Amino acid sequence: MRRKFNATGYVFDFIFVNTSQAAEWNEHGPATPEWVLEKLGQDVFNKLSPDRSDVITVIFVGNDAASWYMSTPWILAHRIGHAINRAVLGTSVLGNQWKEFHKTIFLGMRDIMANLYGMDVSSDRRPNNYHSYGRNREDDLRNSFRVQPRSFPKLDVARSDTGKHFLQVLATHMGSFRSARENNLRAYFEFENELLAQFLTTGKVRFRPPPMTLKGGPSNNRWWFSGHRNYTPDQFRTYAEDYAESLATDCEAQLHNVLEAAKGSILVM
């Protein structure tokens, strides 16, 4: 298992716990050694490495995903993202670095939507407060980013098509991992967890270039944006590849910052 996580050079210590006592702490997130002793017991505490300063310790206590999957290296890496995400509810360096990673994706994709497709986008909050990271992350995203109705002169977009929907469509087109390729990205916020899984297991973040035409919506109210509005096919292809490569480089840098901040942490998932 550890060999699958050697691509980035970070050291992980995996502890697997299968008890009813531990299962109630599924997706807990960051924890202290004292918490591990109190909540998970002496046996688990004894498995903690005495020198953890450069190690990211991950304690898996169960599989509580929306759909149950076998614990492959990719699934475990994805779930590490969920554990790190819990850190944003506090004021830790790890939580702040994950916010920066999220913001990098968010702003990069918003730029693609505006500059490649001519979508009229706006943010209702200042960039540093683009996402409150409250418990309801979908509502936070819905309220922080909107595609203006004038982008859709012939469509009914007053119902619920705000930033979340468009970002998920673009993420599905750009992701190079299986859930995106198979159009099985459950929600936009899972995109960042899939990118972390890709980075941990391959050492790289890879995006597919945005497509010439971005389309989505229900069958009775389809919408689409075409790069033909502003560019020739060759121009669009060049810009799309540049955006994909640039965003991948930025995401890799941010994920290195996240993992550096995670050194010495205990993540309960």
Nearest alpha carbon to residue 225 among 110, 114, 109: 114
pLDDT of residue 34: 97
For 218, phi then psi, to 5°, come to -70, 165
Q: What is the pLDDT of residues 209-220, one digit of tens each?
A: 999 988 776 665
Handedness of CA 102, 103, 104, 106 (dihedral sign): positive
> Both tokens of residue 156?
């009914």
Q: What is the mean pLDDT of residues 142-157?
A: 48
Q: What is the number of helices (H) and of strands (E) in the chain?
A: 10, 8
Percent of the chain with pLDDT over 90: 51
CA-atom Rg of the chain in angstroms: 20
pLDDT of residue 262: 97
CA pair distance 143, 119, nearest whole angstrom: 17
62-76, 95-109, 237-251: segment of lowest average pLDDT: 62-76
Residue 178's beta-bridge partner residues? none
CA pair distance 41, 36, nearest whole angstrom: 7
Buried b (16+ CB within 10 A) or exposed e, 39-63: bbeeebeebbeeebeebbbbbbbbb
Q: What is the mean pLDDT of residues 136-142?
A: 48
Q: What is the pLDDT of residues 23-61, one digit of tens each?
A: 888 888 999 999 999 999 999 999 999 888 999 999 998
Judged by DSSP in three states, 18 sits in coil
> Both tokens of residue 218?
């229900």
Nearest alpha carbon to residue 113 among 216, 1, 220: 216
CA pair distance 152, 121, nearest whole angstrom: 12
pLDDT of residue 252: 98
142 sits in which H/E element: helix 137-144
Q: What is the largest CA-CA distance in the chain?
A: 65
Nearest alpha carbon to residue 122 among 141, 103, 104, 148: 148
Tokens 């998920």 appear where?
A: 168
pLDDT of residue 134: 41
CA dihedral 66, 31, 202, 78 (to 10 degrees): 10
Angle in degrees, CA 164, 130, 186, rounded to 5: 30
pLDDT of residue 56: 96
pTM across the whole model: 0.85
pLDDT of residue 106: 86
